[in-house]
Amino acid sequence: MGSYLALIYGVIIIAALVIIGLIKFIFAQDKGDEKMQQISDAIKEGAMAFLNRQYKTIALLALIVAIIIIVANYYGHLSEGTGTALSFAWRIGFAFITGALCSALSGYIGMYIAVNSNVRVAAGAKSGLNRALQIALKGGAVTGLAVTALSLFGVATLFLAYGGLSGLSGQEALIKEAPSLLVGFGFGASFVALFAQLGGGIYTKAADVGADLVGKVEAGIPEDDPRNPAVIADLVGDNVGDCAGRGADLFESTAAENIGAMILGVGLYPVFGWRGILFPLVAGAIGIISSIIGIYFVNTKDESKDPMIALNKGYFVTTIVNLIALFFAVKIMLSGHLPDGSEVNYWLLYGAVVTGVVLSYIFVFLTDYYTSVNKRPVQEIAKASTTGAATNIITGISVGMESTALPVIFISAAIFIAYKLGELALPHIGTSGLYGTAIATMGMLSTTAYILAMDTFGPITDNAGGITEMSGAPESVRHVTDRLDACGNTTKALTKGYAVGSAALATFLLFSAYLDEVKKILGKPIDSWFAVDIGKPEVFIGAFIGAMIVYLFSSTAIRAVGRAAQYVILEVRRQFREIPGIMEGTAKPDYAKTVDIVTKGALKEMVIPGLIVVVTPILVGVILGKEAAAAFLMIGTISGVILALFLNNGGGAWDNAKKFIELGNYGGKKSEAHKAGVVGDTVGDPFKDTAGPSLHVLIKLISTITLVFVALFR
């Protein structure tokens, strides 16, 4: 047992050392000329200012929620005695705060490195593609490793502190209770993730839309032009939306999934003992090591090759190392004797791991199909643009809706296969099927650190492109950053597919964890079935509200972008009017003022959609009861996954349809088709960068929130 803990903490220490090494490597790079540094400093300042202010707002909200959690759980558990209730309430509240802090910290680290890497990538591009690629990916890797290592550290340490350590030394009851206490950690993480993603998503698109509408359309200056007062805000937005947002999102995914799988491991205690509960943590540690190995495999000797090939090589290496290491982990940890005395067939459980890994590849492939310029859907939208903006929009919506079908079928198949493998491996044990799906989810999430590195690569290269553009670097340097930027757009789209896929797979797990918790409260054995009767009106209503809430949330999130963009538009217009010489390049616009205004706007606008998501599940549970909350949870989750697929893929397809036209098709830039393409791209922006990614977090938040408040439900 000690060796497993040594492994877990050893990996955490290795990750920390690698992170320090990467940071040293990045800071040792050339910072570029003075002009580049000036721009980079402005971005850095804006991004950090936003993050600081955002965290203040979130901290205030989190504090209120923490108090509510503690009070609610105290009264909810009073029947078990004052002492137990108090201890329970404090522990779950403390877990919430820890989760929130860890999530915030991982967002902070990722952002800090990203805004320091961007200028170095721009400078590195002078020495060629490979150098720039290395810096950008290593910058991204800091986020990937920080997020996953912090998640592992938080979950493992809380588990040990909440009885896991005594449990491992033989006190069976304690180890069985510990995982349930961790849900507070998951809720804290998802709470911060929701607001981080929402605020960041609103910021990035408000700045983008505002900069484009006044800069490109009204003033007629190109993108990333230093005369545009919103140009720095736009570059800041790339960081706070894609970088901090997605980091918090996947921090939450890995934490929630680990906790959910550990809770299920409790049900298998008779077969695997504490090994079944510890397995998820070991799997997480393996994923970190594999990702580190994968990251060091990324390099491109042939400068003319697509950098995507190098990134894919790293992903492939990570997957292979993972598959091998997880096999041994399954073989060693998930072996044991069934109640009838026969051996557990670990090959079946390993099959579930493979199912998850295959699903992650399928999701990446499907996202690529629906959003790539080389494929039918995007080209169909581009063709429809020739008859105007209306047909572009209609086709884009149709493509987005269509793109929900295959992912749902493959998720369904994966859940079914993993469930049946779990049942076959552990027959006649209540939660064995669910444990199968949990293992599949671990397989899918084992590459998270690498995926996140690729994802953060996106905003870093995007920023690097902006910096070279604004600093007037030579054409050859811009060519390098342009290629990396195009590659970053692809990785961002793919990781969004990965994020929603893993969220979808994890939902079934989290939903089942909720049912388990309800059983425990009702005093039913954990391996009994708790059926939700959808013939009852309360349950039907809970389901109805669950399906509706994702629309209401998306509506408010999309509208928030529009409103925040208005602030930007007014400010940019004001600067053009009041500061003479901006357009002639003789006077500098007041970038900081614009950054400040988007910051205030985004933070103000994130509160309403965020509160809708936090308050509704509690209201449903308190007013309509536990079963209604279960239906709310299930239908909200399912509808959320599908709406997120629609928004992400539709938005991505519109984006690339415009790019496809810009490549010279249907008349190229400045054609009528291109104008229609720009409309589609603008519509898609809040879809794919604000509402869609926030829905991933919403899905997991409603799971953890119902778990934390279940004691209050009727």
Residues from 607 through 646 that contact a second copy (CB under 8 A): 630-631, 634-635, 638-639, 641-642, 646
Site for a second copy in 373-392 (CB under 8 A): 384, 387-391
- Closest separation between CB of residue 95 and a second copy, Å? 25
Distance (Å) of CA 616 to CA 23, 521, 611, 701: 42, 22, 8, 12
Residue 334 has what DSSP assignment? S
139: three-class secondary structure by DSSP: helix
Tokens at 533, concatenated: 């009767």
Asked if 371 contacts 656 with a C-beta cutoff of 8 angstroms, the reply is yes
Q: Is 523 left (phi over 0), alpha (psi -120 to 50) or beta?
A: left
Site for a second copy in 640-699 (CB under 8 A): 641-642, 646, 678-679, 682-683, 686
Asked if 381 contacts 393 with a C-beta cutoff of 8 angstroms, the reply is no
Site for a second copy in 507-526 (CB under 8 A): 508, 511-512, 515
Cα–Cα distance, 323 to 357 (Å, whole number): 8
Q: What residues contact 28, with CB distance under 8 A and at least 6 apart? A: none
Q: Is 412 in the site for a second copy (CB under 8 A)?
A: yes
Site for a second copy in 253-272 (CB under 8 A): none
CA angle 122, 123, 127 (to 5 degrees): 110
Q: Which is nearer to a second copy, 175 or 411 (CB)?
A: 411
Q: Which is nearer to a second copy, 100 or 382 (CB)?
A: 382
- Closest separation between CB of residue 402 and a second copy, Å? 4
Q: Which is nearer to a second copy, 289 or 439 (CB)?
A: 439
Cα–Cα distance, 32 to 462 (Å, whole number): 16
User: Site for a second copy (CB under 8 A): which residue of 364, 411, 597, 710?
Assistant: 411
Asked if 609 contacts 553 with a C-beta cutoff of 8 angstroms, the reply is yes
Q: Which is nearer to a second copy, 119 or 572 (CB)?
A: 572
- Closest separation between CB of residue 704 and a second copy, Å? 18
Q: Which is nearer to a second copy, 37 or 387 (CB)?
A: 387
Q: Which is nearer to a second copy, 182 or 569 (CB)?
A: 569
278: three-class secondary structure by DSSP: helix
Q: Is 594 left (phi over 0), alpha (psi -120 to 50) or beta?
A: alpha
- Closest separation between CB of residue 213 and a second copy, Å? 6
In the shown chain, the binding pattern of residues 201 to 220 toward a second copy, with x for contact by CB under 8 A and - for none, equals ------------x---x---
Cα–Cα distance, 634 to 645 (Å, whole number): 17
**How many residues make contact with a second copy (CB under 8 A)?**
73
Beta bridge partners of 343: 337
CA angle 649, 651, 652 (to 5 degrees): 65
Cα–Cα distance, 274 to 173 (Å, whole number): 11
- Closest separation between CB of residue 508 and a second copy, Å? 6
By CB under 8 A, which span of 174-182, 196-204, 402-410, 662-670 interacts with a second copy?
Answer: 402-410
In the shown chain, the binding pattern of residues 414 to 433 toward a second copy, with x for contact by CB under 8 A and - for none, equals -xx--xx------------x
Tokens at 299, concatenated: 């390099």
Torsion 454-459-461-462 (CA) sign: positive
447: three-class secondary structure by DSSP: coil
Q: Which of 97, 179, 163, 168 is nearest to 517 (CA)?
A: 179
Q: Which is nearer to a second copy, 126 or 519 (CB)?
A: 519
Residue with tokens 């991982």: 106
Torsion 60-66-72-75 (CA) sign: negative
Q: Which is nearer to a second copy, 41 or 533 (CB)?
A: 533
Q: Which is nearer to a second copy, 82 or 412 (CB)?
A: 412
- Closest separation between CB of residue 645 and a second copy, Å? 9
User: Site for a second copy (CB under 8 A): which residue of 395, 448, 461, 704?
Assistant: 395
Q: Which is nearer to a second copy, 14 or 534 (CB)?
A: 534
Site for a second copy in 517-576 (CB under 8 A): 529-535, 537-538, 540-541, 543-545, 547-548, 551-552, 554-556, 558-559, 561-562, 569
- Closest separation between CB of residue 439 and a second copy, Å? 14
Q: Which is nearer to a second copy, 221 or 608 (CB)?
A: 608
- Closest separation between CB of residue 714 and a second copy, Å? 14
- Closest separation between CB of residue 504 and a second copy, Å? 8
Q: Which amino acid appears at position 208 of this protein?
A: D
Residue 155 has what DSSP assignment? H
User: Site for a second copy (CB under 8 A): which residue of 393, 477, 699, 701?
Assistant: 393
